[in-house]
Structure 1
Amino acid sequence: MTVSSLPYAVFGVTGRTGAAAADALLQAGQRVRVVVRNPAQSQPWADRGAEVAVADLTDVASMTRALRNVRGAYVVCPQQYGREDLFEQAAWMADAVAKAAVAAGVPRLVALSSVGADRDCKIGWIGMNRVFEQRVGDAGVPTIFLRAAYFMENWTPFVHQAVRSGTLPTFLAPPQRRIPMVATLDVGRAAAALLQEEWTQTRAVTLTGPQDYSPHDVAAVVSATIHKPVDVAVLPPADWPLALAGAHFSKAALAGFTEMTVGLNSSHIDIKSDASAAQRAGTTALEQVIAAIARSQQPG
């Protein structure tokens, strides 16, 4: 690992993985350029010595400026679940990233993707990641698509319910089946590590946690943290729209969530389905993430 006079550009620093990537790079002594849509969100990073670029992920000109004269970039395209055209919006952002990366001459990209992006159908939301991989991959810029497993932080609202009620709802079934999960902290750290490595070929890298986990494992961590029994309640598909009402998903987003979750439960979406992808594992255990979420809901 070497330190260059050129910075690494990091998108998504107002979210978990982007913040973790920028932090890891700064901790390593690297120069960092955070890319934000709202300049007001950049001050904490500027205070740490990061450069700041302002760009809109659908605007090629501002994206090109943000990506010019960098050593590499970590790109996160936020998915806008309240929109009926969320898949079209994701495609526009993918095109903008691809065009800007070429115009700016970016030497390499690490792009956040998802388990299942290698599948060509029945993947719901993950279809946005698949389009992203295709559009950016076709641009010819060396890119690692970081296919992350199920985020441990996805459990946050359900852990909150479990702390209040003693029951952990879940869309995943059967509840004893373990699947790969990963902490968002490890996703950001992996992105930072990959940016600092030497490589020139476009490829996919899967990222899991140190082991696989089930809904029962999540409930056990909550129970141990709050010192009360916690049951697991699998929500049937007919109840999913009501359970997600507070998320304000569009009809298209709800349909995409349903198809994706059915794919996860049937193992159609599987971290090992692409034999050509390299495999990495984070070090953050489920217990660390879930216990912290549960403690945040306890009085005092």
Structure 2
Amino acid sequence: MVERVLIIGGKGKTGRRVASRLSAAGINVAIGTRTPDGRQDRRFDWSDPTSASAVEGCDAVYLVAPTDRTDHLAVMQPLLEAAMARGVRRFVLLSSSLLEPGGPMMGEVHEWLAKSAPDWAVLRPSWFMQNFSEGPHARTIRKEGAIYTATGAGRVGFIDAEDIAATAAACLTAATPLNSDVVLTGPEALSYDDAAAIIAAALGRPVHHVSLDPASLTARLVLQGLPANYAETLTALDAHIAAGAEDCTTSGVEQVTGQRPTSFRAFVQRVLDRWK
């Protein structure tokens, strides 16, 4: 039985939601963060080998990869091995629907966990609904009534971070390990034009999708402060969407949690104040 879980990135979009669900279920939670300031917090930085001490007393870890680089396995493997040496058995990795095992970024970590970890699960969600309310699109919707992407008319099975957290909590505490990956989506695939129209109807004012060419999106992301190689990686993901790679839905959330995922319209109604 899992008794204590270290949640890396425990103050982020999914991490804080996973922590809340586990705490409500009576599971002891430790928060891995670069800036500890609370009773549950433990200092954790993927680039610091001494961060391995954060797993002491934990039997499971929720893994969120660093967001400022793309060589994820190179930086994560030493700390994952140190965690195993300290008795951690179960690892649940947040990855992406577009990243196959052995692919770039978290895909390399996915493949390594499948070969190396005693118990593991890899969550491969589609794009977060929270990108519209907490992430890169929130400010432009609020200030400009605009959403900028290079996705064209490509559709996405947007997923609520609450549903990702519910799936992660289930994987972290299940009596039987998943030892597999699961692709997570919402119940319908929507284009960014569709998403903009739904938000506009709920707000009662115009919101439109600005479809950029890939070079323009990369330049925009760099101006926002992202490293050039990371901006190019994100733009490439938009190109995959434009090509139809995310135009699907799955039953992953329901299979793991027993509950249907949240619709985009229900999500928009829940977070309307974010854009006012």
Whether contact under 8 Å (1:116, 1:270) holds in the other structure is: no
Task: Provide the residue aligned with 1:147 in structure 2.
Answer: 124
Task: Provide the residue aligned with 1:33 in structure 2.
Answer: 30
Deviation by residue 1:59-104 (Cα, 9 ceiling, x = unmatched): 44432x2223323221111210xxxxx223x233321332123211
Quickly say closer, same or farther: Cα 1:264–1:34, change in 2 above 3 A. same
Q: Distance in 2 between matches of 1:217 and 1:118?
A: 27
Q: 1:184 aligns with which of 150, 161, 178?
A: 161
Q: Cα distance, 1:159 vs. partner?
A: 4.6
Task: Provide the residue aligned with 2:257 in structure 1.
Answer: none
Quickly say closer, same or farther: Cα 1:92–1:58, change in 2 above 3 A. farther
Whether contact under 8 Å (2:155, 2:242) holds in the other structure is: no
Deviation by residue 1:23-82 (Cα, 9 ceiling, x = unmatched): 000111222122222222xx2xx3xxxx4432322344432x2223323221111210xx
Deviation by residue 1:83-140 (Cα, 9 ceiling, x = unmatched): xxx223x23332133212321121211111111221666xxxxx21112212333323
Whether contact under 8 Å (2:156, 2:246) holds in the other structure is: no
Q: Secondary structure at the match of 2:253?
A: strand
Q: 1:87 aligns with which of 67, 70, 73?
A: 70
Q: Distance in 2 between matches of 1:155 and 1:259?
A: 19
Tell me the percent identity: 23
Deviation by residue 1:224-256 (Cα, 9 ceiling, x = unmatched): 232123333311223213432442122211221
**One-letter amino acid of the structure 2 residue matched with residue 76 of structure 1:** V
Q: Cα distance, 1:201 vs. partner?
A: 5.5
Q: 1:231 aligns with which of 199, 205, 208?
A: 208
Q: Secondary structure at the match of 1:87?
A: coil
**One-letter amino acid of the structure 1 residue matched with residue 220 of structure 2:** A
Q: 1:76 aligns with which of 57, 64, 78?
A: 64
Task: Provide the residue aligned with 1:83 in structure 2.
Answer: none
Q: Cα distance, 1:16 vs. partner?
A: 1.2
Quickly say closer, same or farther: Cα 1:171–1:295, change in 2 above 3 A. farther
Q: Cα distance, 1:292 vs. partner?
A: 5.4
Whether contact under 8 Å (1:179, 1:212) holds in the other structure is: yes
**One-letter amino acid of the structure 2 residue matched with residue 267 of structure 1:** G
Quickly say closer, same or farther: Cα 1:33–1:229, change in 2 above 3 A. closer
Task: Provide the residue aligned with 1:171 in structure 2.
Answer: 150
Task: Provide the residue aligned with 2:139 in structure 1.
Answer: 160
> Which consecutive unaligned segments of at least 5 residues does structure 2 have?
255-259
Q: Secondary structure at the match of 1:35?
A: strand
Q: 2:8 aligns with which of 6, 11, 16?
A: 11
Quickly say closer, same or farther: Cα 1:241–1:294, change in 2 above 3 A. farther
Confirm whether residue 54 of structure 1 aligns to residue 37 of structure 2. Answer: no
Quickly say closer, same or farther: Cα 1:228–1:256, change in 2 above 3 A. same
Q: Cα distance, 1:278 vs. partner?
A: 8.1
Q: Distance in 1 between matches of 2:78 and 2:92?
A: 16
Task: Provide the residue aligned with 1:23 in structure 2.
Answer: 20
Deviation by residue 1:155-195 (Cα, 9 ceiling, x = unmatched): 34435334444443332221xx4321112222122111111
Q: Distance in 1 between matches of 2:81 and 2:147?
A: 44
Whether contact under 8 Å (1:71, 1:106) holds in the other structure is: yes
Aligned length: 269
Q: Cα distance, 1:271 vs. partner?
A: 6.3
Q: Secondary structure at the match of 1:115?
A: coil
> Which consecutive unaligned segments of at least 5 residues does structure 1 have?
81-85, 122-126
Q: Secondary structure at the match of 2:239?
A: helix
Alignment RMSD: 2.7
Q: Secondary structure at the match of 2:45?
A: coil
